[in-house]
Amino acid sequence: MILETQRLLLREMEISDLDALLLVLGDAESMRYYPKPFDREMVQKWIDRHRHNYVQHGVGLWAMVLKTTGEVIGDCGLVWQEVEGRQELEIGYHVRLDQQMQGYATEAAYACQDYAFKVLGQHRVISLIRPENIPSRRVAEKNGLKIVQETVWRDIPHYIYAVER
């Protein structure tokens, strides 16, 4: 386990999480702000990439697990991204459609922000969010992040939300 909140555990993703994460990353509605929903192979690569990030960078997106049931309902964590020629630590999150609008992303993202500041000693974290992604923007804003810049990231317009310690 990496982090614990009131209702959630965040832990490293495992290969056995593939089916649970496919319910999130493979859902067209949940992934409407991505170029397309993930298929099984893409989810496998997603897990592999983040497992590599754990070793290489000590962070990555972690499996989001409900304490009450033990089920994986999404992911949340910290990922190093190149943005505007700088390395930035991004908070990212995805929550299964039937578990959205219950504050899980906000709760997990806040724990990751706190971890970045207090454990990793970072002075700033960001979230890259498409302008039309109102739910993710609300999560960022509830946790004190503010739009600091507009950018085109991976050929798609994004807001850079940021907060400093």
CATH of the domain at 81: 3.40.630.30
pLDDT (0 to 100) of residue 38: 98
Domain count, the chain: 1
Q: Over pLDDT 90: what percentage of the chain?
A: 98
pLDDT (0 to 100) of residue 163: 98
Strand (E) or helix (H) holding 157:
strand 156-164
Q: How confident is the model at residue 60 (pLDDT cuts 50, 70, 90)?
A: very high
Residue of 97, 145, 150, 108 whose CA lies nearest to 6:
108
Residue of 86, 150, 137 whose CA lies nearest to 109:
137
Q: How confident is the model at residue 67 (pLDDT cuts 50, 70, 90)?
A: very high
Q: How far apart are CA 107 and CA 109, in angstroms?
A: 6
Tell me the average pLDDT across 152-163: 95
> Which residue is listed with tokens 């593939």?
18
In terms of Cβ atoms closer than 10 Å to its own Cβ (0-12, 13-18, 19+), residue 51 is: middle
For residue range 8-28, list pLDDT tens digits in order.
999 999 999 999 999 999 999
pLDDT (0 to 100) of residue 116: 98
What are the backbone dihedrals phi and psi of residue 36, each rounded to the nearest 5 degrees, phi first?
A: -165, 160
pTM above 0.75, yes or no: yes
**Domain membership of residue 78 as a residue range:** 3-164
